[in-house]
Amino acid sequence: MAEKVYNNYFYDEPAFNTHDGGYIPLEEPNTPAMPLNIPAALVPDKETQTDMYYTVTAQPGETQLLPGTKTKTWGYNASLLGKTIIFKNGKTIHLHLENKLPELTTFHWHGLNIPGPIEDGGCHAPVYPDSSRDVTFKINQPAATCWLHAHPCPSTASQVWHGLATAVVIQDDIESQLPFPRNYGVDDIPIILQDRRFHADNQWDYREDYDPDGVQGPTPMINGTVNPYFDVTTQRLRLRILDGSNRREWRLHFSDNLEFTQIASDDGILPEPVKFTRLMTTCAERHEIIVDFSNYQAGDEVVLYSDETPIVHFRIHEFATDNTKLPEHLVDIPDPKVDADLPVKHVVMSGMDEEVMMDDKKFDMQRIDYKMPLGKCQLWDITNTNDMDGGMIHPYHMHGTAFRIISRNGHAPYPNERGLKDVVSVNPGEHVILKVWYDVAGIFMYHCHIIEHEDGGMMAQLQVIDPQNPDAKYELMDHHTLMSAFAKERGVSMDDLWLGGMESYHKMGMHM
């Protein structure tokens, strides 16, 4: 019996970002082809049998993205994006976080199940210019492709746009035994999808490009490379795809309608491999796929497209025959029983532009919107009520946990949504049911991951309560303190300070 191959994008087509009033289509760059940048792996300061030590530095730089003047960019231990950070399941991680930027930032470990709010690195854990912060946590989760990005409210979008995003790879003993490519940089490579507009002298201008529904640019930028190619030297290639864009959905397919196999989603390996010819990814999602080039020969080229725009050219070279087959079952996925005493938690994402809200409120850094017990499993019903102009898809993200998607409007989730996830995109008018549980206590945010939407207030936070320490206290920052710091760092008054997310509060007459 032939394996099922999925050849559609699943989501509601009328809600694709191509229908946005502010949609900016991608354009094929007319600049010379460049080798795809493969970020180096960050070398630990020290590693023992039980611990790993890293220094992670947020720093400004300049990057040669186009011919001519270099672009001013930010990155982690690099001028743009960053070096790939490797964590190993079961080890305790010690991080020395340095900020060499001209303004405060935070270090958010997206996809890591670690305590919040400080270790998680959201808006409550600022690191100010020329200062540092040390955090320690233990990795207790399966192999996955996660990522690190800035998360200072309400300037998350601007800082990610400047370049503060990099891949984080968790390794474990189970994944290491599966027949996957894993020679990093050769047959196992990150694909970080972003888009930019270049202004005078090849510079980026976030304020000029600002859109409260999410900033987009016409130029695809993959791993910080414009018009990239990759030299294929193995029959099978593992791509760790991350949608690191502020807003853009990427609808991916290869030339010749080449089939590929998804083996992992946000937070780990899928229970079973899933075959596709087309894959749509929304903001912050991760998809690990294996592409088999056995039907090609040296001199051929295979192109990866988003919609009809070529974004990566794969140049085929000689390779050894590889007859490796994937097993029908890859891994077992945790499936805790829902606690009968916990009612269904309802979350409503609404609005577009400045009107975005979560549960009819905009985010308040000092407000706890919900409390749930540590170690208990609860159903969460996530709704997108947005129906303005056909509506838009909202990618919903939770900090500090991985959830399971149970259903979409009463139907089964998409075939590649049966693993552990921390982002689920919700169609207009849709109810998505999740199984949610936390293995760590603390304060955690949940929000739309169109980054301008979270800056604009489509975000809330919950407290996960440890029954062994029910009265735990947390120091929570407030918007005014962070905005005052931004104003001082930029040498402007509070009246003259501009941060994109502020406009969404002001235009709605709401206090930030």
| Neighbouring residues of 249: CB distance < 8 A, sequence distance ≥ 6 | 16, 17, 243, 280, 281, 282, 283, 393
CB-side neighbour CA atoms (13 Å) of 239:
26
Mean pLDDT of the chain: 96
**What's the whole-number mean pLDDT along residues 89-105?**
98
> To 5 degrees, how large is the angle CA 216–CA 74–CA 252?
40
Segment 148-177 mean pLDDT: 97
Are the C-beta atoms of residues 268 and 295 closer than 8 Å to each other? no
38-176 has CATH 2.60.40.420 classification: yes
The confidence score (pLDDT) of residue 215 equals 97
Domains 5-12+179-316 and 38-176 share a fold: yes
- Would you list the domain boundaries of the chain? 5-12+179-316, 38-176, 345-473
Listed in sequence order, the residues at least 6 apart from 125 whose beta carbon sits closer than 8 Å to its beta carbon are 106, 107, 117, 118, 119, 133, 135
Nearest one of 396, 383, 453, 391 to 424, comparing CA atoms? 396
Distance between CA atoms of 199 and 49, rounded to whole angstroms? Answer: 49
Q: Are 240 and 291 in contact (CB under 8 A)?
A: no
Nearest to 408 by CA among 427, 423, 387: 427
Share of the chain above pLDDT 70, in %: 99
In the chain, the N- to C-terminal Cα span, in Å, equals 58
pLDDT band for 391, please (50, 70, 90 cuts).
Answer: confident
Q: Is the pLDDT of residue 92 over 90?
A: yes
Neighbours of 371 (CB within 10 A): 9
Distance from C-alpha of 413 to C-alpha of 432, rounded to nearest angstrom: 9
Nearest to 52 by CA among 100, 83, 84, 96: 96
In the predicted model, is pLDDT for residue 29 greater than 80? yes
Confidence of residue 21 (pLDDT cuts 50, 70, 90): confident
The per-residue pLDDT for 388 is: 67
Give the chain's count of helices (H) and strands (E).
Answer: 6, 33
- Domain range 345-473, CATH class: mainly beta
| Confidence (pLDDT) at 179 | 98
pLDDT tens-digit readout, 451-510 = 999 999 999 999 999 999 999 999 999 999 999 999 999 999 999 999 999 888 988 888
CA torsion, ordered 308, 312, 315, 319, to nearest 10 deg: -110
> Which CATH number, 1.10.3720.10, 3.40.50.300, 2.60.40.420, 3.30.300.30, labels domain 5-12+179-316?
2.60.40.420
Backbone angles phi, psi at 447, to 5 degrees: -165, 170
For the stretch 230-286, pLDDT in tens is: 999 999 999 999 999 999 999 999 999 999 999 999 999 999 999 999 999 999 999
CA dihedral 112, 81, 450, 489 (to 10 degrees): 100
At residue 182, the pLDDT reads 97
pLDDT tens, residue by residue, 403-429: 999 999 999 999 999 999 999 999 999
Q: Identify the pLDDT of residue 2.
A: 63
Find the range with the poorest average confidence among 66-75, 294-303, 350-359, 376-385: 350-359
Kindly tell me if the per-residue pLDDT of 372 is higher than 80: yes
Token pair 């921390």 is found at 422
Q: Would you call 108 helix, strand, or coil by DSSP? A: strand
The amino acid at 93: I
Pairing label, strands 459-465, 370-373: parallel
| 1 has a pLDDT exceeding 70 | no
